[in-house]
Structure 1
């Protein structure tokens, strides 16, 4: 259960075991999602590390209940090298617990802020964008939308690979949706306008994230959310010189006002900027 590639962890992945929080030693808080805090933890028997999200039942309102269980259900479906695996979930009288892989390098945002210029090189940015695009393509093929793609919701494992996480806003892509969701700086125009939207909102977010990884801040940043929204609706972007022509081409193809014109994810992974900086490994039977 704990870190899939380690043979010694098989004892911790007993599929029929009834897990309890007493089976783990909880450590420090390493993050928070829409519905709870995330702790690093150690499974006592195998001594392997995991991340455990703790959701207080008392904090779940009637409006939130369906989305909490939808998050767990959706997350449990995905088996992909660039999606953080959900190993198991259980509950007691006070809390719901979800047990996931522990990504030792923290979030992509944290890793980015630790870089010398607080942004990534083109090689690293292209690698991470390609891997997140791969994860989103996997989700979309199974007819689900993430709806909150941003560096804070992408984790980096101990091999330096990106893994999409936090499915608190995830939902089915079977029908179109309305209403606000996600983070203002990453919202697609149709979300802000209250129009119906589909999986293409994730593609918009990927374009915003591409800009941010290369520059160090988002293309629509402002101290006022209303100003941010105005910039988004106008697609008002100032590209610094650090963003080279091929990267700019990709970003503009992703940040299209018209959702139907946004670049499909398979074409993102094969874009000339990606291919010139990162050699994507073909997945065989779900493994690298």
Structure 2
């Protein structure tokens, strides 16, 4: 039989094979809803300790990876939907080209810092081919984050242009809500980015620790505002971000956002055809390979706002996790906004998740100003936010500049020597 869960946000029905209460598996939160069986039903319960002992922490399992999507997968999807192949560019286009202006002397690139002076303090996180640690500069006493990437792994995964692109674009960006690049280094086996430290953890983790994985309109407005201002700064320089999601938004010591991870960002004057990002956040024109511009970032803002208010992304394959189902939901516009979302937020989400790019909010003549002036943001002080004069919803409790309580434990690392062919692939 089915069951119904009734709470402050309304009533939700669950059928055989579905589940609820997963927020308690991520953090110490309690599901206060009243559960009622509609007919005979058997309900199974598992504790967080038992779940993690058998499977592992849910937060790690549910984190969504950024991927360069396979062209053949999208060709199959388009064929299934009866959509002709895209014209105008290759879906296998490289994410970026090296910026000729970015070639600098080692001294300039290192910003006066030396790799040998950086003392390892603690582990902060890891990605597909990068590892981030907390370090202290022995000469200045400054505390930073150091992102290290194995050269051989970068080459093996064909990510050289992405890695070079990330470094070059970060040098161009200077905004309070964008992670700042301090210096770059390399040695025989590794590439390094010295970054400002951001110790509050991911917005993804913060949401996971809230009841139901949701926040209030006011809190969602604050985080969405930070993101919009950061995107506005990028778009003013013709930079598309293309990988917006809670996992790529960090919270600093003051409670403000920092957008991180620029591996898929790109300077685009008109349109580009690369298929990249995180499936649940992809805009339909990106999935269909029709060429895209900054509108994909505004679409992603709509997905982000939805997720903050509802607890899951609007096109997710629930309860499964099939990326092609997600993409099919996106192109077929299977958007259902729960009643818990207020009228103003609902209107904004619909206008951001408009399949017609030219009609999408942010893509019209008014640009990002149309989003900032939407009635959901009525009375919002944008200048105060950018000057960091607004009170954040949450300020991470930190004991010191080296407090890593909001990060995962170190899973260990493996040495990977670089087979240098003498091509100078990482020079410049």
Of 27, 31, 39 in structure 1, the residue corresponding to residue 133 of structure 2 is 39
Does the Cα contact within 8 Å between 2:304 and 2:313 map onto a contact in 1? yes
2:254 match: 159
Of 304, 324, 328 in structure 2, the residue corresponding to residue 230 of structure 1 is 328
Alignment of 1:166-245 (within 5 A): 166-222=261-317, 223=320, 224-245=322-343
Alignment of 1:39-78 (within 5 A): 39-61=133-155, 63-78=158-173
1:267 match: 370
Normalization by structure 2: what TM-score? 0.60
Coordinate RMSD, CA, aligned? 2.2
Deviation at 1:97, TM superposition (A): 0.7
Does the Cα contact within 8 Å between 1:33 and 1:166 map onto a contact in 2? no
SS of equivalent residue, structure 1 residue 281: helix
Gaps of 5+ in 1: 1-13
SS of equivalent residue, structure 1 residue 81: coil
Are positions 1:279 and 2:359 aligned together? no
Deviation at 1:21, TM superposition (A): 2.8
Normalization by structure 1: what TM-score? 0.88
SS of equivalent residue, structure 1 residue 60: helix
For residues 189 and 15 of structure 1, the distance between their equivalents in structure 2, rounded to whole angstroms, comes to: 38
Does the Cα contact within 8 Å between 1:51 and 1:100 map onto a contact in 2? yes
Deviation at 1:49, TM superposition (A): 2.2
> Judging changes above 3 Å, is the alpha-carbon distance between structure 1 residues 216 and 283 closer, same or farther for their aligned structure 2 residues?
closer
For residues 128 and 261 of structure 1, the distance between their equivalents in structure 2, rounded to whole angstroms, comes to: 24
Higher helix share: 1
Does the Cα contact within 8 Å between 1:175 and 1:198 map onto a contact in 2? yes
Are positions 1:101 and 2:203 aligned together? no
1:80 match: 175
Does the Cα contact within 8 Å between 1:34 and 1:168 map onto a contact in 2? no
> Judging changes above 3 Å, is the alpha-carbon distance between structure 1 residues 86 and 137 closer, same or farther for their aligned structure 2 residues?
same
What is the aligned length? 273
> Judging changes above 3 Å, is the alpha-carbon distance between structure 1 residues 87 and 171 closer, same or farther for their aligned structure 2 residues?
same
1:25 match: 119
Deviation at 1:43, TM superposition (A): 2.1
SS of equivalent residue, structure 1 residue 87: strand
Gaps of 5+ in 2: 1-107, 363-367, 390-428
For residues 109 and 162 of structure 1, the distance between their equivalents in structure 2, rounded to whole angstroms, comes to: 12
**Mean Cα deviation higher: 53-62 or 245-254:** 53-62
**Mean Cα deviation higher: 247-256 or 20-29:** 20-29
Larger Rg: 2
> Judging changes above 3 Å, is the alpha-carbon distance between structure 1 residues 287 and 87 closer, same or farther for their aligned structure 2 residues?
farther
For residues 178 and 261 of structure 2, the distance between their equivalents in structure 1, rounded to whole angstroms, comes to: 10
For residues 158 and 287 of structure 1, the distance between their equivalents in structure 2, rounded to whole angstroms, comes to: 12
Runs of 4+ in 1 over 6 A off after TM superposition: none
Deviation at 1:77, TM superposition (A): 0.7
**Mean Cα deviation higher: 37-46 or 146-155:** 37-46
1:9 match: none
> Judging changes above 3 Å, is the alpha-carbon distance between structure 1 residues 237 and 17 closer, same or farther for their aligned structure 2 residues?
closer
SS of equivalent residue, structure 1 residue 61: helix
**Mean Cα deviation higher: 180-189 or 22-31:** 22-31
Does the Cα contact within 8 Å between 2:146 and 2:192 map onto a contact in 1? yes
Deviation at 1:184, TM superposition (A): 0.5
SS of equivalent residue, structure 1 residue 257: coil
SS of equivalent residue, structure 1 residue 130: helix
Does the Cα contact within 8 Å between 2:184 and 2:193 map onto a contact in 1? yes
